[in-house]
Every structure is written in C-alpha cells, then in structure tokens.
Amino acid sequence: MPESRTVQLNELRLALRVWQVADSDHPPAVLLPATGKTASDWDQIAAGLSADREVIAADLRGHGASSWPGAYGLGLFAADVIALLDHLGPGPVDLAGHSLGGLVACRVAADRPDLVRRLVLEDIGMPHPREPGMPARPDGELPFDWQMVGQVRPQIDNPDPAWPEIISRITAPTLLVAGGAASPIPQHHIAELAAALPDARLITIEAGHLVHATEPAAFLAAVRAFLTAPPS
C-alpha cells in the first residue's frame, strides 16, 4: 500500500503517494497526472512498477492535497516538479506524465536534463494551436482548483511557439505511448514529437487518451520493458 506524504517546497506544499521498496538497483519512478487528476490516478500502474523500485506519484499544484495557490501554468508546474526532484535527490529519476503531466515532464526534462534518466509520455503530441475553448465546470465539489483550468487551458490551446526548441533540449531516452484512433489527440502530432526527440520510441496501444487506465496491463508491460532495457 502507498504511503501518503507531503513535501514543503518554500511556500508550496506538494502531496505525494509513495510506494517504497527495501532495496533496488533501479532509480525511482516519478509519475505526473493529467489535468484534474490526482496522484491516486496512477495507483494501479504504480503498484506494478513498485515490484522493483520506489514509485512516487504527485498531486500537481491546484490538485488534490497539494497547495491551491491560485496561480497556475506549465512553467510553474515544471518548477514545482524540479524543486521536488532536487528535494528527493540524489541522482536522476525515471519521469512519466500523462496529458498535462506529460507536457510538464517535457519541460522538466528540457530544463534539467540531469534530473531525468528516462522519460515516458502518455498520449501527448507536439503542441500546436487549436480551437480555443473552456469546458463547462462539473457540478459539485472538485478535487482540483477550477481556476487552474482557466489559466492553463489557454497555454495549451495557444501554445508557446518555443515548444520545438524546448523539445530539442530533451536528452533522456523517451517512450511515447499513443492512444490510437480513439484518442482526441492528433496521432500525427505524437509522431512529430517522437521525430523531434534525439532518442525516442513510439508505440500505440489502442485505448484512447486514458491508456494507462483503459489498458493498464499493456501500458505497464511497455513501460517496465522500456525502463529496464539496457541503454541503446
């Protein structure tokens, strides 16, 4: 069973779910969830990965039990994760992210390549402008700050034109897991992202956008094989 922890990073509190192992030759795996999701979204995958390594899933700012400071953005998320990895040290980790968490993971790997040994990106493509729009707020109490959606959605709808340069700075071997035809993410944008990375492999699991939730066994098998493979 995971242990719930909090880490204080200056004024920000990040909530974690941690699967510990007594001894491991593998670096920790750090998992970042999608918009509106919390660390528990990774429970099934984290439990499988924890067979031979420590696994840490994080609530991003504005999500779950982490601080809800009212200020959000891809750069802020990435800075939080970099501060977390510096706090956890020493040595690089294997970093995985789904959707928003994948974009954040890219920023982390680009800005601090020393912190990331291998990178796993679940169903994200090279960012391109798209039709702007805000989803309707779900009814009731939410496990995330709705202000966060309003601040982050424009950064995804109208992405920073520097994204290709950001991607070019990623040095970690990278596994891209595409969701296939049922995903709303243009699959050719995922292939474009893979082509822009210096060391990337792309696989498709026909599961839609929620690959790790819809096909957990296939996703886990692919990620474990990638993380334990010898360096190329």
What b-and-e string marks burial along 109-127, b requiring 16 or more CB atoms within 10 Å of the CB?
bbbbeebbbbbbbbbbbbb
Mean pLDDT over 147-156 rounds to 97
Structure confidence at residue 172 as a pLDDT band (50, 70, 90): very high
d(CA 214, CA 223): 15
Instruction: With a cut of 80, say whether residue 81 has pLDDT above it.
Output: yes
d(CA 60, CA 33): 8
* 62 neighbors 68 (Cβ within 8 angstroms): yes
Instruction: With a cut of 80, say whether residue 216 has pLDDT above it.
Output: yes
Structure confidence at residue 1 as a pLDDT band (50, 70, 90): confident
Question: What's the pLDDT at 21?
Answer: 84
0.95 exceeded by the pTM? yes
Instruction: With a cut of 80, say whether residue 56 has pLDDT above it.
Output: yes
- 226: which residues sit within 8 A by CB, 6+ positions away? 118, 120, 173, 175, 201
**Domains plus CATH for the chain?**
3-228 (3.40.50.1820)
Instruction: With a cut of 80, say whether residue 157 has pLDDT above it.
Output: yes
Whole-number mean pLDDT of the chain? Answer: 96
Structure confidence at residue 72 as a pLDDT band (50, 70, 90): very high
Structure confidence at residue 76 as a pLDDT band (50, 70, 90): very high
Mean pLDDT over 170-182 rounds to 98
Question: What's the pLDDT at 232?
Answer: 73
Encode pLDDT of 123-147 as tens digits: 999 999 999 988 999 999 999 999 9
Structure confidence at residue 92 as a pLDDT band (50, 70, 90): very high
In the structure encoding, which two tokens stand for residue 84, read together? Answer: 């977390």
Instruction: With a cut of 90, say whether residue 50 has pLDDT above it.
Output: yes
Structure confidence at residue 231 as a pLDDT band (50, 70, 90): confident
Cis peptide before 230 (omega within 30 of 0): no
How is residue 184 annotated by DSSP?
Answer: S
Instruction: With a cut of 80, say whether residue 80 has pLDDT above it.
Output: yes
Question: What's the pLDDT at 19?
Answer: 96
Question: What's the pLDDT at 57?
Answer: 98
